[in-house]
Amino acid sequence: MTDQTSQDIQTTIDNNSVVLFMKGSKEMPQCGFSSAVVNALAYLEVDFKDVDVLEDGELREGIKKFSNWPTVPQLYVKGEFVGGCDIVKEMFETGELNTFLKDKQIPHKE
């Protein structure tokens, strides 16, 4: 990963409270795992920035090194890596995601 890619990722998660690095866009996810996270966030009415890793090969590989996490999607809240699809889904199902968003003061549907 180039320093530039790493810096770009850092800038994106610094400037947006909730960022989802995903395959496709939130309007049109290109992968079931990405789609599942979009659905959870949409259900909770969370405003988030989507970044399509398919549009940039550097980013697609870079994001995995950045977080030391081998898969996409990846969710970041207030600069913190929350997890991938399985973790977000599990947090959503247990209600943990709701609590987490509240703790982080992210506006969402209770």
Partner 1 sequence: MPMEQIEIEKLIKASLPGAEVEIIDLAGDNNHFSAHVISSAFAGKSRIDQHKMVYDALGDKVGGVLHALSIKTSIKKD
Decide whether 46 or 53 has the Cβ nearer to partner 1: 53
Decide whether 32 or 95 has the Cβ nearer to partner 1: 32
The H or E element containing residue 32 is helix 32-43
Q: How far is the CB of 95 from partner 1 (least distance, A)?
A: 15
Residue with tokens 């081998």: 70
Decide whether 25 or 69 has the Cβ nearer to partner 1: 69
Q: How far is the CB of 91 from partner 1 (least distance, A)?
A: 8
Q: Which two tokens stand for residue 1?
A: 């990963």
Binders in 80-99 for partner 1, by CB under 8 A? 81, 83-87, 90
Q: Which two tokens stand for residue 84?
A: 């991938």
Rounded Cα distance between 110 and 98, Å, is 7
For 86, which DSSP code?
H
Contact 72, 64 (CB under 8 A): yes
Q: Which two tokens stand for residue 9?
A: 């990722």
Q: What is the CA radius of gyration of the chain?
A: 13
Q: How far is the CB of 71 from partner 1 (least distance, A)?
A: 6
> Using CB under 8 A, which of the segments 2-10, 39-47, 51-59, 65-73 binds partner 1?
65-73
* Site pattern 32..51 for partner 1 (x: CB under 8 A): xx------------------
